[in-house]
Amino acid sequence: MSFTKQLQALTAAIDDPKLRFEVMKTLSFLKDVYASGKMRDEQLISDVKEVCEMAIALAAPDLAEDEIREKAAAVAEEIVKSIKLECLFRRTLTRLRPTPLL
- Tens of pLDDT along 31-68? 999 999 899 999 999 999 999 999 999 999 899 999 99
Q: What is the pLDDT of residues 15-27, one digit of tens each?
A: 999 999 999 999 9
**Could you tell me if residue 59 is inside a domain?**
yes
Full domain range(s) for residue 67? 3-96
**Could you tell me if residue 101 is inside a domain?**
no
**Could you tell me if residue 102 is inside a domain?**
no
pLDDT, the chain, mean: 91
**Rg over CA atoms, the chain:** 16
Greater pLDDT, 92 or 84: 84
Number of domains in the chain: 1
pTM for this structure? Answer: 0.85
The angle, 0 to 180 degrees and rounded to 10, between the axes of the packed helices 17-35 and 3-11 is 150
**Could you tell me if residue 90 is inside a domain?**
yes
Is residue 55 within 8 Å of 14, Cβ to Cβ?
yes
* Residue percentage of the chain with pLDDT more than 90: 75
Residue 102 pLDDT = 64
Residue 17 pLDDT = 92
**Could you tell me if residue 89 is inside a domain?**
yes
Spatial CB neighbours of 12, under 8 Å, sequence gap ≥ 6 = 59
